[in-house]
Structure 1
């Protein structure tokens, strides 16, 4: 004898409080991106999927969320898909359609992507890894999509470098080196400062699909720090990275501001309503804590600030 299983999720909760995000995290899927005549890119991606929950409903349909994600990602594998942010948008819109009680659906994705490049001095082939960051939020008013990257680089602290330069100046002065020679030497040979491994994140969010190239955002983020780093490094490459990092010492705040300046210069085709998220976190080498700075801002506001205008 068959019986109908109770729909516990649809029952009224004991505490009638709505929730802004309910869903699943840590969903691993293979994603294939079509590149025309080139071989497709296959990514191992991790997804987070959320919908909002009204106060009168006890829970979401968890199995339905998983079914929608599976359906969408399987479609992305079997049909041409060119942008991961569009795939997230498709999934978010499907979620919204299949959950009659929700007003917002959100899909987030991260995936490691390998970039082939040459080392800066010895010009040997090597690989670097960036993390693709994509998301989409679907509502009754439309879908906003986000695309960007998290990259790793190197920074050098200007404060500790300044102290080292001051000490070098005093030592050379005691050795009767003239002031002009001291300054010329310090200009040519950057002094030591404590270094950090930096993690830069840059994303752009717009209505629909952002008109930006993922690798352009990754390049901006990598160039915002004191120097790029490489997995393979012969001694000339190590010297190159160390010298350039110390010749371009930056606080964590400087890295975010460098991203902001490059975004305004390089992404001038984007509309004022595009939202830019810029984040820098540095793993300190002489402290147990880390340094962090970030900004989320519309391009309209960012352009105004860099132009010295007030909105």
Structure 2
């Protein structure tokens, strides 16, 4: 048997602890819960990391991938905790962080013609395990349309409108559907957006949005109100970014709960 030195476990030149060290950009097919269909197959971008004590030179990067290879592939609270536990054991770490970012698909019917089209929403699951305690966060990025109330009030014709994105992060008790977060985000804008619109749908969306003008501040407050009223949400952070159509910059607003 050939002896191979474990360089990672050797003494660090600079004895300084590292908060997080790991791998990112891994792509993995996963299965997530779908309220309508039961389950949905998608692909996640995965980031994995652990803390590293001051005395060790490096961590064993291959062990992250080994943990992922042994994971069952169905994403829920318990399987997520199992994977984090495995990472802690394999890397002999005190704490571990795990993030899954994935597209989640819902079929949306246009408001008048009822033509169907798939909408994708960027969703994320974050977990931080330290000394056996898991902090688990679920989030969704939701596109909406906004019309500027000021522009509408001061213009003889029309008003500037644009897409905005409602980015929601939550902690919760029990089980929380991604669809709940998406629906809260969609209700916060001037109008929701669709992948497929016929002419009659475009007329409806435009007129609905102009009938409900919203500042970015209005959107973030409306989303926060929806999260406050959700019986399972215990903490949230919501950020709204408006991709301004008449400026070379975005406007944004953030609300974080006290929970």
TM-score between the two structures when normalised by the length of structure 1: 0.77
List structure 1 runs of 4+ shifted beyond 3 angstroms.
33-36, 83-87
Whether the 8 Å contact between 2:22 and 2:48 is mirrored in structure 1 is yes
1:114 and 1:288 mapped to 2: Cα distance?
A: 30
Query: Which one of 81, 85, 96 corresponds to residue 93 of structure 1?
Result: 85
SS of alignment partner, residue 200 of structure 1? strand
What is the match of residue 129 of structure 2? 138
In 2, Cα distance between equivalents of 1:34 and 1:242:
33
Partner residue in 1 for 2:198: 234
Query: Does residue 162 of structure 2 align to residue 196 of structure 1?
Result: yes
Contact 2:88 2:96 survives alignment (8 Å): yes
RMSD: 2.2
Contact 1:84 1:134 in 2 (8 A): no
Larger fraction in helix: 1
The answer to which structure has the higher strand fraction is 2
Counterpart in the other structure of 1:256:
220
Shift of 1:298: 3.4
Q: Does 1:298 align with 2:255?
A: no
Structure 1 gap ranges (5+): 169-190, 300-311
- Looking at structure 2, the residues matched to 292 and 88 of structure 1 have their Cα atoms a distance apart, in angstroms, of 32
CA distance in 1, matches of 2:105, 2:137: 20
Hey, what's the Cα distance between the residues in 2 that align with 1:95 and 1:279?
31
Q: Distance in 2 between matches of 1:110 and 1:68?
A: 18
For residue 40 of structure 1, report the CA deviation from its aligned partner.
4.1
Alignment of 1:156-167 (within 5 A): 156-164=147-155
Cα-to-partner distance string for 1:194-253 (whole Å, 9 max, x where unaligned): 1121111112124xx653211111110111111101111111111111111122222222
Shift of 1:138: 1.0
Q: CA deviation at 1:293?
A: 2.0
Q: Give unmatched runs, 5+ long, in structure 2.
A: none
Aligned length: 259
